[in-house]
Amino acid sequence: MAFPEGQRSPDGRLLPFKSGSFKMATKTKTSILPITIRNAHAIMPINSIFPLRGGGRGVLEVVVHDVVEVEGVVEEEIEKKVREAILSGLTEDQLPLVVVEKEKPL
């Protein structure tokens, strides 16, 4: 099991992925089974060592997505497919915030 974000977010929003999980999968030719865990931040916040509530019944939701095959696919494409799968399982309040860059003046 690997968590491609590398850390928990303070507000439960999906963070950018780090490449290590995808390098490992392509190197070992191991397919990836993306899993979305909704509302984990409500049970296990970033500043907590132990869960705030036991079990998470009624709060946590787990979504298991289709397998992403890695053989013959570049890491960037694998990461894109996994991210899209995980995003499709999140609620709106856990989607990443879109950062719009300002255009540079000519």
pLDDT tens readout for residues 2-26: 999 988 888 889 999 999 999 999 9
Q: What is the pLDDT of residue 79?
A: 96
**For residue range 21-51, what is the model confidence (pLDDT) as tens digits?**
999 999 999 999 999 999 888 888 888 877 7
- What is the extent of the structural domain holding 52? 20-93
pLDDT at 82: 97
Q: Is the full-model pTM beyond 0.85?
A: no
Q: How far apart are CA 93 and CA 39, in angstroms?
A: 10
Count up the domains in the chain and report the number. 1
pLDDT digits (tens, 9 = 90+) for 52-89: 766 667 888 999 999 999 999 999 999 999 999 999 99
Is residue 70 situated within a structural domain?
A: yes
Task: Examine residue 42 and state whether it is found in any structural domain, yes or no.
Answer: yes
Does residue 52 form part of some domain?
yes
- DSSP symbols for 4-41: TTSS--SSSPPPPPPSHHHHHHHHHT--B--EEEETHH
Reading the block at residue 76, the tokens are 């960037």
